[in-house]
Structure 1
């Protein structure tokens, strides 16, 4: 009887941890504003994200990271730019760091997928913005 109780308690402890794992966000995503496609991929034990392709007409020589607060980084191309790093599973979401080349801000990122949609909440201090991206077929 004691073994049964120990086994039942162990099952109760492990089931919620498994159930709370977030849905995978790896893959290719179209941004809500239609300006870019972003790849989310494994980088070590965590996830990262980079701009795969910009979907608007770019200036000659390509769109640059001109609003970056670090002047030394303003000449780098936005296409191929890493914009998420250190994303780790945290409950039902993926949390880590993000960067927006559109406004040059670094933020705390919280990404959560449901089916073919992903909500991305980015916060700078107490100010947050949430957008919804759509998974693209591979």
Structure 2
């Protein structure tokens, strides 16, 4: 009887344990945006992943592209090349979840990034409005 009593907690723990979730596929590397205008580099930053504009595939204006749509007027003169636009992306299930910024319209959003075969899917949500785009390897 003592053996059964000592095994009971172990069996119960095993039976009610939540299954471990697989880590999402790596998003590290260079990815061409869906509009073909730029390359975003995803990289490890601390304990999470980040993404920055690493290259433009279209001609920049003289003096470089600037963050002219930023809601913070003090940031509107900063250059877009090298600008972090994804941060605090942490694994959550099969996706990385964190924050993002769109310099095209100056909006901050909740971001989800994940691999689907050779495609990188990027989903941005502001309130209940969401949009998903596909990036390809650069």
Paired position in structure 2 for 1:57: 59
Paired position in structure 1 for 2:68: 66
- Runs of 4+ with >6 A deviation: none
Q: Distance in 1 between matches of 2:84 and 2:103?
A: 10
Q: Distance in 2 between matches of 1:124 and 1:117?
A: 23
Matched residue SS, 1:88: strand
Change (3 A) 1:132 1:12: farther
Query: Please, which of 76, 80, 83 is the counterpart of residue 85 of structure 2?
Result: 83
Change (3 A) 1:12 1:36: farther
Matched residue SS, 2:20: helix
Could you give the per-residue CA deviations for residues 53-110 of structure 1, whole angstroms, max 9, x where no partner exists?
1111111001000000000000011110000000000011000000000110000001
Unaligned ranges ≥5, structure 2: none
Normalising by structure 2, report the TM-score.
Answer: 0.87
CA RMSD in angstroms, aligned pairs only: 2.2
How far 1:11 moved relative to its partner?
9.7
**Rg larger in structure:** 2
Paired position in structure 1 for 2:24: 22
